[in-house]
Amino acid sequence: MHTKNEEELLALGERLGHLLQKDDVLILTGELGAGKTTFTKGLAKGLDIRQMIKSPTYTIVREYEGRLPLYHLDVYRIEGDADSIDLDEFLFGGGVTVIEWGHLLGEDLPDSYLELEILKEADGRCLQFIAHGSRAEQLIKELQDGV
Ligand code: ADP
Ligand code: MG
């Protein structure tokens, strides 16, 4: 998929946010400034979260309350060292878990998750969704059907 500007990326995030259910996990990949946190802001809106989403780069984890709890993680600073956080607390916390740089977690990743790679283009972004497991496949299908 492609988004032409920040507003479109936010809108896509919001649309995915509407589709998400308890225990869904999303991994966000893409260089610094690609739009991982921006996408999460849209996603939070789709989860009816009213609080302002701030980057978890320095805090590693931020939690929000909405239609479902949102656990927003950025594991870049801990270099994906899952032992330094209680990952299960979030993955099995009854909410939605979004992990920026989540691929760094390697084998500590759950079996089932949706991966989104964001690539910078001149003004817009190229988005590639990759399904890991059947739930993620279903989410991609629902997202495409909604276009
Ligand atoms: P990351 O979390 O991947 O490091 P952020 O979402 O924090 O990235 O930052 C993305 C930055 O790029 C924001 O400052 C945003 O305003 C800017 N930006 C410019 N154009 C776009 C676009 N088309 N889509 C998303 N973000 C954009
Ligand atoms: Mg970020």
| pLDDT 10s digits, 71-99 | 999 999 988 788 889 899 999 999 999 99
| Strand-strand pairing, 113-120 and 25-29 | parallel
What is the band of 130 on the pLDDT scale with cuts at 50, 70, 90?
very high
Average per-residue pLDDT in the chain? Answer: 95
Provide the pLDDT for residue 141.
96
Give the model's pLDDT for residue 147.
64
**pLDDT value, residue 122:** 86
List C-alpha distances in Å: 64 to 15, 60, 82, 105.
Answer: 18, 14, 21, 22
Beta-bridge partner residues of 125: 3, 120
- 67-53-97 Cα angle (round to 5): 55
Using CA of residue 99, residue 104, residue 107, residue 108, what is the dihedral sign? negative
Mean pLDDT of the 53-71 span = 95
- Average pLDDT (55-73) is 95
Domain edges within the chain = 2-104+123-146
Show the CA angle centred on residue 116, arms to residues 8 and 64, nearest 5°: 75
For ligand 1, atom 19, name the residue with the nearest CA.
6
Structure tokens at 49: 């979260």
For domain 2-104+123-146, is the CATH number 3.40.50.800? Answer: no
Residue whose CA is at the smallest distance from ligand 1 atom 12: 33
From atom 25 of ligand 1, which residue's Cα is the shortest distance away?
6
Ligand 1, closest atom to CA 31? 3
- Ligand 1 atom nearest residue 5's Cα: 23
